[in-house]
Structure 1
Amino acid sequence: MEIVWHIKTFEALTVNELYALLKLRSEVFVVEQNCVYLDIDGKDPLALHLFGEFENQIVAYTRLFKPGISYDSASIGRVVVASDYRNKKWGKDLMLQSILAIENHFGVAQITISAQLYLKKFYELLGFVQSSEMYLEDDIPHIKMIRG
Structure 2
Amino acid sequence: MSGETPAGAPAGAPAGLSVHHAPTAQVPALTLYALLKLRVDVFVVEQECAYPDLDGRDAEPTAVQLWVQAADGSVAATARLLAEPGGRARIGRVATARAHRGAGAAGALLRRGIELAGGADVLLDAQSHLAGWYGRFGFRVVGEEYLDDGIPHLPMLRTA
TM-score (norm 1): 0.91
Offset of residue 90 of structure 1 = 1.9
Contact 2:139-2:158 within 8 A present in 1 as well: yes
Within 5 Å, which residues of 2 pair with 1:62-81? 62-68=79-85, 73-81=88-96
1:56 to 44, 66, 73: 73
Offset of residue 11 of structure 1 = 1.1
RMSD across aligned C-alpha pairs, in angstroms? 1.4
Offset of residue 147 of structure 1 = 0.3
Structure 1 window deviating more from structure 2 (110-119 vs 86-95): it is 86-95
Contact 1:115-1:142 within 8 A present in 2 as well: yes
Show structure 1 runs of 4+ deviating over 2 A.
none
Which runs of 5 or more residues in structure 1 are unaligned?
A: none
- Percent identity at matched positions? 36
Q: Does 1:13 align with 2:27?
A: yes
Query: How far apart, CA to CA, are the structure 2 residues paired with 1:12 and 1:89?
Result: 25
Q: How many residues align?
A: 142
Partner SS state of residue 94, structure 1? helix
1:125 match: 136
Offset of residue 72 of structure 1 = 6.1
User: Higher helix proportion, which one?
Assistant: 1
Contact 1:9-1:45 within 8 A present in 2 as well: no
Aligned letter for 2:37?
K
Query: How far apart, CA to CA, are the structure 2 residues paired with 1:115 and 1:122?
Result: 9
